[in-house]
């Protein structure tokens, strides 16, 4: 289960809703002290630590078993989709903060421009990097030797671009086989494997014992994960 919030641009209904929200008048807390030096800040930090409150908060946390069916979904920011209300939210949130500090607020279109930075990105660094990558792709297509490829370093703030030959990564060995970060192992057994079968295949054919397995930024398996989760992952197909 997840939480879905339906967006709205109806100013009248939003105003009616906001009017029903109770707002307590601000009253300075006499107990709050403001440090005027680093030494005072250290002492105040010790005083602010309420261990009993930490214990209370820990007890208020829900039982982990009640969250087993919960799945968090990643939302990718997309400034050009008017149906996702991303720019609406950013505009409202940033303008609330701006109003609180009495600094200029931004319109919906200004927020979109600031968030995307389309023009400066397209005409400067993005275009430059894309061109440099394109040059290297030509070399790949033409099957140029390794020494033809270049690493590029640039700084657009003062027009600096330089190139160098890429250094080979450090090499290591497994079972008398030399390897480095440029090497890959292609596995195609003609059938879809579970994670457990994949790990067994690597151990039987290459003598490799898998301690950790990741895909992109996702950690699929590691030797120190809980037994229940590890068993669940090992039984899953690799495509899952």
Number of H helices, E strands in the chain: 9, 6
Confidence bin at 138 (pLDDT 50/70/90)? very high
Split at pLDDT 50, 70, 90, the class of 117 is: low
Instruction: Kindly report the number of other CB atoms within 10 A of residue 37's CB atom.
Output: 8
Which pLDDT value is given to residue 1? 40
Amino acid 47: pLDDT: 67
Residues 6+ apart with CB under 8 A from 128: 154, 156, 161
The rounded distance, in Å, linking the Cα atoms of 115 and 86 is 10
Question: Is residue 222 helix, strand or coil?
Answer: strand
Cα separation of 84 and 75, whole Å?
A: 10
Query: What are 181-220's pLDDT values in tens digits?
Result: 888 888 888 888 898 999 898 888 888 888 888 888 888 8
C-alpha to C-alpha distance for 91 and 102, rounded to whole angstroms: 16
- Give the CA count within 13 Å in the CB-facing half-sphere of 176: 0
Residue 2: is its pLDDT beyond 60?
no
Instruction: With beta carbons less than 8 A apart as the criterion, state whether 73 and 84 touch.
Output: no
**Rounded Cα distance, 53 and 8, in Å:** 38
Q: Is the per-residue pLDDT at 97 higher than 50?
A: yes
| pLDDT tens string 144-192 | 998 899 999 988 777 788 999 888 788 888 777 888 888 888 888 888 8
- Strand pairing report for 177-179 and 160-164: unpaired
Q: Which of these, 72, 112, 79, 85, lies nearest to 6 by C-alpha position? A: 85
pTM of the model: 0.36
Computed on alpha carbons and rounded to an integer, the radius of gyration of the chain in Å comes to: 28
């Amino acid at each position: 289960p997840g939480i879905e919030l339906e967006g709205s641009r109806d100013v009248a209904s939003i105003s009616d809703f906001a009017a029903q929200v109770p707002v307590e008048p601000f009253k300075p807390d006499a107990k709050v002290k403001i440090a005027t030096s680093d030494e005072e800040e250290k002492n105040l930090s010790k005083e602010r630590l309420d261990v009993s409150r930490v214990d209370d908060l820990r007890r208020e946390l829900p039982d982990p078993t009640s969250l087993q069916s919960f799945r968090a979904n990643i939302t990718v920011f997309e400034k050009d989709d008017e149906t996702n209300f991303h720019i609406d939210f950013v505009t409202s949130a940033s303008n609330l903060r701006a109003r609180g500090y009495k600094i200029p607020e931004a319109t919906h279109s200004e927020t979109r421009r600031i968030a995307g930075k389309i023009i400066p990105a397209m005409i400067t660094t993005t275009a430059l990097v894309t061109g440099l990558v394109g040059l290297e792709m030509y070399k790949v297509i033409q099957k140029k030797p390794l020494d033809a490829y270049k690493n590029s370093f640039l700084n657009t703030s003062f027009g600096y671009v330089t190139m160098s030959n890429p250094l080979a990564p450090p090499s290591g060995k497994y079972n008398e086989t030399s390897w480095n970060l440029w090497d890959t192992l292609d596995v195609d057994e003609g059938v879809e494997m579970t994670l457990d079968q994949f790990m067994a295949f690597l151990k039987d054919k290459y003598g490799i014992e898998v301690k950790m397995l990741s895909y992109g930024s996702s950690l699929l398996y590691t030797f120190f994960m809980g037994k229940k989760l590890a068993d669940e992952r090992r039984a899953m197909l690799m495509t899952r």
